[in-house]
Structure 1
Amino acid sequence: MARITAGISTSHIPAVGAALDNGKIGEAYWKPVFAGYEWVKQYEKDSKPDVIVLVYNDHASAFDMKIIPTFAIGCAEEFPIADEGWGPRPVPAVQGHPDLAWHIAQCCILDEFDLTIINEMAVDHGLTVPMSLMFGQVPEWPVKVVPLAVNVVTYPPPSGNRCWLLGEAIARAVASFPEDLNVQIWGTGGMSHQLQGPRAGLINKAWDQAFLDRLTSDPEALRHMPHIEYLREAGSEGIELVMWLIMRGALGTNVRELHRHYHVPASNTAVGHIVLEPTGKDLS
């Protein structure tokens, strides 16, 4: 049977992708950002996942105000790289896993989660930057990907608890897939940042670190954290962190933290990254 073997979360800052693409990773400003991902790059080489269920948010590349799905699952064979206004990133197209994606869609919809099924979708930095951070600059990605796009751009975004419950439903779906697959689930976005208004440039280091701590020490509190706390403490774009709770919900009750990285600044935000492994499951 397929199994979820790890959960990984990371920021998906577009400037990080630009720094990588333009050969700036050795510069003094960027070097500590990328140094924090050396551990996970080796971990991925050793773990050899077959598929990543990659939770991210689209940045007006695949969706706009004409259609705003709360949860959208990509079921295509391949996902091209979006042009976000300065040309597509010079990274490989993302290969999907339609069989697993359709299975997750079917299971979750019958589990009363109304996923939007997408069969044609370009993916932007929200998905490609995490791939580059975990796998580096490669001629082709070493894994297949099931993209799960979450609306955290336009009000109302889903609650943390709803995201957690979706993670549990995804884990049940993966566990019922008959093929022997090593599956990881990633939650991306965040951490604290705000891109506009009087609080533009906000970074809350203490709150970010507490959030990372609570992923293992007090996840129950995170799943019930109201939107207003994200907005007040982590800025308007800090709401992206609810996507990490899909990852966390999929891992079950008990997890072990394997690696953590936190660095300020990176562009106008903080970089956060954590690697967790489930030590037992309670997904009934």
Structure 2
Amino acid sequence: MAHIVGGIFTSHVPAIGGAIARGLQDDPYWKPFFDGFHPIHRWLAGARPDVAVIFYNDHGLNFFLDKMPTFAVGAAAEYHNADEGWGLPVMKPFPGAQALSWHIIEHLVNSEFDITMCQDMTVDHALTVPLALSWPGADNRPVKIVPIAINTVQHPLPSPKRCLALGRAVHEALLTWEGAERVVIFGTGGLSHQLDGERAGFINKDYDRFCMDNLGADPDALTTHSAVDIVELAGSQGIEIVNWIAARGAMGPHVHEVSRNYHIPISNTAAATMLLEAGQALSRVA
């Protein structure tokens, strides 16, 4: 079976990609956020994953309001990035873990998840920015990827409970995979933020800390709120926490917190990063 080494949870704000492109990691505005990735870089050097399973949300590059799947799983040999209009450099394609993708898809369908299977899938900043943060270098491609997109845009939105169940089903699929790949799980987006309307710039530190405090120890606590509740608590884009919830489900029951970082604001967003190691009884490293 696949060996799940850990999970990386991070914001994916497009402006982060712009800061990387301009080499602003040590700029006073950006440094507190980028410093949160130093422990992740050290951990990845030791963990040496082969595959990244990435729970994220598409922002219109691949899906739009006229066709918005609730859950979509990539099954491509490679995934192309494209210009989203943010001024970010277009990255070269990411290699896909195609056989593992199909195994996950088959397990999800057998587990009665109605998903969209994508043999051709374009990926946006919600996937490219976290990978660039984790493995600096524009041409760095140390892992193959399995992208899993969750609808966080078009109502009705999937419930946090359903997203956690999705992640747990992915975990089951990884346990039944015959390969020996070392897998890192990503959950991207958030935390609290709203980009438009009367509450533009809204941040809820209390809810963000509730999510970070419970993600490892008690992810079911994050499902006590409905999707609409989360929009109220965390802003219309704060619903991206469901990507974190699904990714946590994919890690299995036992994790160990290695590091966390919380910094506000980054481009009107509560920017956060967490690293959880898989397969150990829960404890917290200060």
Residue type matched to 1:89 in 2? P
Instruction: Supply the distance in 2 between the matched residues of 1:233 and 1:265 (Cα, whole angstroms).
Output: 17
Deviation of 1:138 after TM superposition, in Å, equals 4.0
Instruction: Supply the distance in 1 between the matched residues of 2:54 and 2:121 (Cα, whole angstroms).
Output: 14
Tell me: CA distance 1:86–1:187, structure 2 relative to 1, closer, same or farther (3 Å). Answer: closer
Instruction: Supply the distance in 1 between the matched residues of 2:9 and 2:240 (Cα, whole angstroms).
Output: 11
Instruction: Supply the distance in 1 between the matched residues of 2:26 and 2:253 (Cα, whole angstroms).
Output: 39
Deviations 1:16-48 (A, max 9, x none): 011111222221111111111111012112111
Show the 5 A alignment for 1:14-53: 14-53=14-53
Instruction: Supply the distance in 2 between the matched residues of 1:46 and 1:246 (Cα, whole angstroms).
Output: 25
- Name the count of aligned residue pairs: 281
1:208 matched to which residue of 2? 208
Residue type matched to 1:150 in 2? I
1:269 matched to which residue of 2? 269
Residue type matched to 1:197 in 2? G
Tell me: CA distance 1:86–1:237, structure 2 relative to 1, closer, same or farther (3 Å). Answer: closer
1:82 matched to which residue of 2? 82
Instruction: Supply the distance in 1 between the matched residues of 2:253 and 2:183 (Cα, whole angstroms).
Output: 18
1:176 matched to which residue of 2? 176
2:137 matched to which residue of 1? 137
Of all paired residues, the percent bearing the same amino acid is 44
> Where has structure 1 moved over 6 Å in runs of 4 or more?
none
Instruction: Supply the distance in 2 between the matched residues of 1:76 and 1:216 (Cα, whole angstroms).
Output: 31
Q: Which moved more, 1:111-120 or 1:228-237?
A: 228-237
Instruction: Supply the distance in 2 between the matched residues of 1:5 and 1:141 (Cα, whole angstroms).
Output: 18
Deviations 1:47-91 (A, max 9, x none): 110101101101100011231100101110111112102566243
Q: Say which SS state the counterpart of residue 217 (structure 1) adopts.
A: coil
- Would you say the 8 A contact 1:9–1:187 is kept in 2? yes
Show the 5 A alignment for 1:105-120: 105-120=105-120
1:241 matched to which residue of 2? 241
Tell me: CA distance 1:155–1:176, structure 2 relative to 1, closer, same or farther (3 Å). Answer: same
Gaps of 5+ in 2: 282-286
Residue type matched to 2:209 in 1? Q
Q: Which moved more, 1:3-12 or 1:271-280?
A: 271-280
Residue type matched to 1:148 in 2? I
Instruction: Supply the distance in 1 between the matched residues of 2:87 and 2:260 (Cα, whole angstroms).
Output: 32
Q: Say which SS state the counterpart of residue 261 (structure 1) adopts.
A: strand
1:226 is the counterpart of 2:208: no
- Would you say the 8 A contact 1:82–1:88 is kept in 2? no
Deviation of 1:232 after TM superposition, in Å, equals 1.7
Instruction: Supply the distance in 2 between the matched residues of 1:279 and 1:153 (Cα, whole angstroms).
Output: 33
Instruction: Supply the distance in 1 between the matched residues of 2:80 and 2:136 (Cα, whole angstroms).
Output: 18
Q: Say which SS state the counterpart of residue 58 (structure 1) adopts.
A: coil
1:162 matched to which residue of 2? 162
- Would you say the 8 A contact 2:227–2:239 is kept in 1? yes
Residue type matched to 1:267 in 2? S
Q: Say which SS state the counterpart of residue 8 (structure 1) adopts.
A: strand
Question: TM-score, normalising length from structure 2?
Answer: 0.94
Q: Say which SS state the counterpart of residue 265 (structure 2) adopts.
A: strand
Deviation of 1:218 after TM superposition, in Å, equals 3.0
Deviation of 1:229 after TM superposition, in Å, equals 2.5
- Would you say the 8 A contact 2:18–2:88 is kept in 1? no
Residue type matched to 1:149 in 2? A
Deviations 1:182-215 (A, max 9, x none): 1111111110000111110011112211210011
Deviation of 1:280 after TM superposition, in Å, equals 5.5
Tell me: CA distance 1:190–1:86, structure 2 relative to 1, closer, same or farther (3 Å). Answer: closer
